[in-house]
Structure formats: structure tokens, C-alpha cells
Structure 1
């Protein structure tokens, strides 16, 4: 049986950049990215226990696809050190080598939505993998009614009405605030 693919996020505007190798151990800086190699749409889709970042041209042709393991998001999607709107994607080529592509959004909200969708998917997969533990409560079988046993309730002086008539709620007036 083939697993179903479903969408996690779509953003209409996304850019991809050719990035220089990181020369510092602290990570990549988006301000160094000068060569924009793609402008188009982003789709984040899930299939099974993985999600995929797809960069699509305006005609929906695939420019790039990047598989993300939800257990190791930071190995595939790294945030830049100087901006919350840009990320470095580690794309594995068919021959097994890694290619690093810069990806960014013009709007900070779009970047936040992208990162939040990745983390939400990772949490969902983590929760699905955890075994369901049923907690046994106290034995309440002695509180059950036995066959033929009944309970009668009295409401004191007020008669008990099974189906109260529908009435309009009573409005009340609030006192003015203290001076």
C-alpha cells in the first residue's frame, strides 16, 4: 500500500541562492548570498515519516526537492546566523553527495510559518512513534447498579422538571464602577 502525500504548507514567494561555503564554524550569513538562482513557490509536503521541501517554478515544474527527516531537522534545514528569514538546505543528489542551497522569504511571517510547520510535523511523528500507555485507574465496578436496582432523587421542596421550558435569559444591570 502506497502512503498518502499531504500538504503541510504552501507559500507563493520563495527564493533560492547559490551560497559560498561556510568559512566560519558559527554558520552561514545570508548577507553574503548574492546569486539568486530561483524565484517561485514553496510546498512542504509529508509522506509517511518524512517531509519534503519542494521549490516549484510558477508553472509548477519542480526546481528542487529536499527530503527532511523529522528526527534530524537541523541536519537538513539550518537557520542562518544573521536573519530569521533565510535557511540553508542540505540537498542530497542522486549520486549521494550533498549540495547546499540558500533559501529565503521576503516576509518574516512566511519564514516563521515554514519553520513552525517543520517542527509541528516532527512533533507529530514523535508522538506517533511513542507507544500508547493505558493507565489503569481504580476499580470502580463496585459502584455499578445491579440488575433491577434503582435510585430515586428528591429535590427538597422544589419539584423536579424533566424538560424545563425554553425561557429567555434574564438580563441584569451591572452596578457602576466605584469612584
Structure 2
């Protein structure tokens, strides 16, 4: 990966770390800090983690003069440049480079577990940021290549919205209609003409008593003439001439 020319940022600083010579790695075993001479570190000093572009740098410096002792460029984490040991969280194996293409593996130890935790988190956060930047760059590149969709309305374009599941008001909820002539029906319990109407839904039955004596009591004009059985008898007395004289333009007959 090509080195970026952007500015260098500081990710982590620990004032005291120890460097150990480590034996060759066994073929099927991980590194174990117990195999090192932990009470006899090869070097002690200060550690810094810096970032320049996408690459992180583990720098080991003299704590008094700041002279660089060794550094390990890290392009991926986790990876082969920084590896944990199998028996402790305070020790790591890092691959250092001299800038001339040569590299070596050394043991790196922290006196406190909090320092080793910060070392681990600083590398994780940096490469999490690198991953996010890469995804953003890919998205921007795909947006440039792919044609943008024009979702705006064209001149004269309309849309139709269909709203379903709207029920009409039930017939039972409709307002009662008034009676003929604009009058509303009387409320329940009010007598109409002296008769109390029945409850809603029941037919109105009026009991009419016929008093024949009172109906016929109109005085004494004499015995009534028996009704005629000839319903056309009253019209024959007018004569034929009257029928012809009574014809009007409308086709009706007047009787004198």
C-alpha cells in the first residue's frame, strides 16, 4: 500500500514499555510470553502510535531523548504485524522494519493491563475508521458511475391517489326525515288527536266505535227515499240536444 502524504496524527502514547528477544516460533504453537526472559528486557522506553493516512506506526523511542529505537508500520489489524500471545493480555509480538527491507520479530510488554488495553483499542479504532472511509469512497464512486434518477414531476404530470376501505354511513345512523309538510313526528308519549301513539316499530290501530244512533240523528226530515238502482237515470233527463250543446272544445259535457 502506498504511503499517504497527509499529516501524521497521534493515536496513543505510553511512557513505559519493554522489548524482549523471542525464540523462534514453533510450527503449531502460538507465541507464549512465559518462554521469554520477562525479568530481563532487552530494551525499555516510550511507545507512540501514530497514523499517517491509512497506515499506523508503532514507534519505540528513548524516553529521555526521543531517539527512535524501532518502528513497525501496520497496514492491517489484526494481522501479521501485531499478534497477541496465548498466555497473557499484556504482551504482544510485533514485526519491526529498518526501512531497508529488513524486518525482525520482537516481544513487546506493558507493565499495566490498562496500557495494553489502550494499545489494542487505538489500533482497532484506527482501522475501523479506515474501513468506513473505504466504504464511503466506494459509494461515492458508484454514485458517479451510475446515472442519477430524475424523480421530479414533469410539466403537466399528475398523480392519482386511491383511498380504499372507506365505508358509507350506515342507514341506521341517518337523521330521521320529517313528515309531509315539513313537520316532524311527535315525540313518544304525546297524544295525537287524543290517542297515544304506539312505540316505534308497532302499527297504529285505532279502535273506532260506530254509534248508529248519533250518526242518524239529524232531525226528522221524513223517511228517506229508497236508493235508485239505475245509476245513469239522472243523466237521461237532460235530453239529446243538451248533450250536443254542452260539448266544448275540450271534449267535456256540461249538464244543465
TM-score (normalizing by structure 1): 0.70
Point out where structure 2 has 5 or more consecutive residues left out of the alignment: 141-147, 154-256
The structure, 1 or 2, with the larger RCO (C-alpha pairs under 8 Å, 6+ apart) is 1
Which structure: greater strand fraction? 1
The separation in 2 between residues aligned to 1:44 and 1:80, in whole angstroms, is: 20
Counterpart for residue 75 of structure 2: 69
Q: Residues of 1 paired with 2:44 and 2:152: CA distance?
A: 63
Question: How far apart are the structure 2 equivalents of 1:69 and 1:25?
Answer: 25
Distance in 2 between residues matched to 1:106 and 1:55, nearest whole Å = 15
In our comparison, the structure showing a higher alpha carbon Rg is: 2
Of 18, 21, 36, the residue aligned with 1:18 is 21
Q: What SS does the aligned partner of 1:130 have? A: helix
Tell me by how many angstroms 1:31 deviates: 1.1
Question: Which TM-score applies when normalising by structure 2?
Answer: 0.50
Partner of 1:55: 60
Which of the numbers 95, 99, 102 marks the counterpart of 2:104?
A: 99
| Cross-structure match for 1:151 | none
Q: Give matches, 1:74-89, under 5 Å.
A: 74-89=79-94
In the alignment, what sits opposite 1:6?
Answer: 9
The aligned residue for residue 185 of structure 2 is none
What's the Cα RMSD here? Answer: 2.6
Report the Cα offset of residue 100 of structure 1: 0.6
Count of residues paired in the alignment? 141
> Which whole-Å deviations, capped at 9, do the CAs of 1:96-126 have from their partners, x for residues lacking one?
3431100010100100100011011010000
- Is the contact made by 2:46 and 2:62 (CA closer than 8 Å) also made in structure 1? yes
Q: CA deviation at 1:94?
A: 3.8
